[in-house]
């Protein structure tokens, strides 16, 4: 697969397990974050399907995608993922949609909406950060040193790292969510996981936030191990479109797993306004 032109059209839809569910005029794209796949949305999906056409897909790095299609050279930054997203939307002939992106998909959404502003009516960014590393006044949550430690841990024993990381990421005391997140986390091939983490950690979108013109809703939980609360404020201050912040009174990086009943209505409200 190395060096081959990126797949497109129907082929891509198949590779990335694209699924369209629900009925309604407005289209919502749900894009999952690292270490999960589209099944992570299953609990909030019922809140949306009644009034929206929901597009679900897997990132190329997800465990449910054949790793053969993961081109280590190509998926070296966010751009390839953005390409995938835009190709999917084009293949589905979607002219305008809202995007709900979790974690890294929030970043993908930001970049995508800069590249194709007419396509995105609204961005809902869940647990999203423009940059994970601390940098001067900016507090992204991770020191460079810490990031390296994470990488070391991942490459030394992925399973051990994942086992330890899953409860931390989930945060809230919801064993089922931990189990579910662990499952999807394990499904990702370790080398892919590490590769993606490396590329994500070196991404810095702070400079381009102002170019986002679509209205954004930043959803942030009260306590998130990966994203400090200040990042939400930073996003609100710097995103170019009209931005609101929804603070969920729960914990963890994955509110769609841990608190669907909180997130569901928030999403409905956020999406009702686009």
Partner 1 sequence: MPTPVPAARQCLAPAAVTALDAAVASARRRAHAQTTSLHLIAALLPQAAPPLLRDALARARSAAYSPRVQLKALELCFAVSLDRLASTSTSAPPTGDEPPVSNSLMAAIKRSQANQRRNPDTFHFYNHTAFQPPSSPAAPSQVRVELSHLVLAILDDPVVSRVFDDAGFRSADVKLAILRPAPPLGRLPARARPPPLFLCSFAAADDAPSPAGDDNGRRVAEILARGRNPMLVGVGAASAAADFAANSPYRILPVGPTSIDQTNLSVAAAMAAATSGLVISVGDLRDLVPDDGELQERARRVVAEVTRVLETHRAGRVWVMGWSATYETYLTFLSKFPLLDKDWDLQLLPITAVRAAGLVPPVTTTPAFSNPATTASPFSTPASLVEPFVPFRGIMNDTYESSSLPTHPCPQILRCQECNDRCEQEVTTIVKGSGITGEDYHQGGLPSPLQNGSMMGLNNGLDAIKVRDDQMVLKSKVLNLQKKWNDYCLRLHQGCQSINRGPYQYPHYIGVPADMERATLSKGSDSVTLKRRVIRPSAVSATRTNAAPKSVSPPSISNQTNEELVLSLQGRHSKGDDQFQDRHVQLQQEDLSSCHDRENHMSASTAAAASVATDLVLSTPRESSSKGTSSAFWKHVGDADKSTHLTPRKVDDLNQKPPLTFVQPYSSRSSRNVGQTSPSSLHSAASGGVSAFGQWQKPSHLAVQGSDLSNYKLLVERLFEVVGRQEEALSAICESIVRCQSTERRRGANRKNDMWFSFHGADSMAKRRAAAALAELVHGHKDNFIYLDLSLQDWGDSSFRGKTGIDCVVEELSKKRRCVIFLDNIDEADCLVQDSLSHASDTGRFRDMRGKEVAINDSIVVLSTRFTRSSRNLLVGVEEGHTFSEAKILTVRGQQLKILVEPGTAITSRGPSRSPVVVSSSHPLAKLQTSLCSCNVSKRKLNDSDDQENLLESPSNPKRPHRTSSVPFDLNLPVGEDGSNGADDDDSSNSNDNSSGNPERSIDGLLCLVDGAVEFKPFDFGKLANNILRELSNMLGNVLGTGCTLEVDVGAMEQMLAASWASEDRRPLQAWLEQVFARSLDELKLQRGNHASSSALRLVTYEEDTAAISAAKEDSRFGALLPSRIILEWR
Active-site residues: which are they?
A: 103, 224, 253
How much of the chain is in helix, strand and coil states, percent to nearest 5? 50, 20, 35
How many chain residues interact with partner 1 (CB under 8 A)?
A: 69
| Alpha-carbon span 120 to 123, nearest angstrom | 7
Two tokens at 137?
Answer: 């006044």
For partner 1, the closer CB: 211 or 229:
229
Eight-state DSSP code of residue 5: P
Query: Judged by CB under 8 A, does residue 83 bind partner 1?
Result: no
Footprint (CB under 8 A) of partner 1, residues 229-248: 232-233, 236, 242, 244-248
CA distances from 248 to 70, 115, 134, 251 (A): 34, 30, 24, 8
CB-based burial of residue 145 (10 Å sphere; 0-12 exposed, 13-18 middle, 19+ buried)? Answer: exposed
Q: Looking at 95, 96, 202, 273, which residue binds partner 1 (CB under 8 A)? A: 273
19-58 mask for partner 1 (x: CB under 8 A)? Answer: x-----------------xxx--xx--xx--xx-------
Query: Judged by CB under 8 A, does residue 213 bind partner 1?
Result: no
Q: Looking at 2, 93, 136, 237, which residue binds partner 1 (CB under 8 A)? A: 2
Pure H helices in 33-174 = 45-49, 79-91, 104-115, 144-156, 158-170
For partner 1, the closer CB: 38 or 105:
38
Footprint (CB under 8 A) of partner 1, residues 131-150: none
CA distances from 25 to 28, 53, 268 (A): 10, 7, 14
| Alpha-carbon span 234 to 243, nearest angstrom | 11
Query: Judged by CB under 8 A, does residue 7 bind partner 1?
Result: yes
| Shortest distance (Å) from residue 80 CB to partner 1 | 14
Instruction: Give contact residues for partner 1 (rule: CB under 8 A).
Output: 1-2, 7, 11, 14-15, 17, 19, 37-39, 42-43, 46-47, 50-51, 63-70, 72-73, 155, 157-159, 172-174, 176-177, 183, 186-187, 189-191, 194-195, 232-233, 236, 242, 244-250, 257-262, 264-266, 268-269, 271-273
């Amino acid at each position: 697969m190395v060096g081959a032109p990126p797949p497109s059209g129907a082929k891509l839809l198949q590779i990335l397990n694209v699924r369209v569910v629900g009925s309604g005029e407005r289209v919502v794209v749900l894009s999952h974050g690292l270490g999960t796949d589209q099944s992570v949305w299953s609990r909030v999906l019922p809140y949306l399907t009644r009034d929206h056409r929901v597009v679900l897909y897997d990132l190329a790095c997800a465990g449910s995608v054949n790793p053969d299609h993961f081109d280590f050279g190509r998926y070296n930054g966010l751009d390839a993922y953005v390409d995938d997203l835009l190709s999917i939307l084009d293949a589905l002939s979607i002219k305008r949609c809202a995007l709900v992106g979790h974690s890294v998909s929030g970043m993908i959404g930001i970049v995508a909406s800069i590249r194709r502003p007419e396509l995105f009516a609204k961005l809902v960014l869940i647990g999203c950060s423009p940059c994970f590393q601390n940098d001067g006044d900016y507090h992204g949550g991770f020191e460079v040193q810490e990031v390296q430690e994470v990488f070391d841990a991942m490459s030394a024993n992925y399973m051990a790292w994942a086992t330890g990381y899953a409860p931390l990421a989930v945060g809230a005391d919801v064993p089922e969510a931990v189990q579910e997140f662990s499952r999807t986390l394990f499904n990702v091939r370790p080398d892919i996981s590490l590769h993606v983490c490396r590329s994500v950690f070196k991404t810095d979108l702070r400079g381009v936030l102002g170019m986002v013109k679509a209205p954004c809703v930043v959803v942030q939980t009260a306590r998130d191990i990966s994203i400090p609360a200040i990042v939400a404020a930073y996003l609100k201050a710097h995103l170019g479109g009209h931005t609101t912040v929804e603070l969920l009174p729960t914990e963890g990086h994955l509110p769609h797993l841990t608190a669907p009943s909180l997130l569901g209505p928030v999403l409905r409200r956020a999406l009702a306004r686009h």
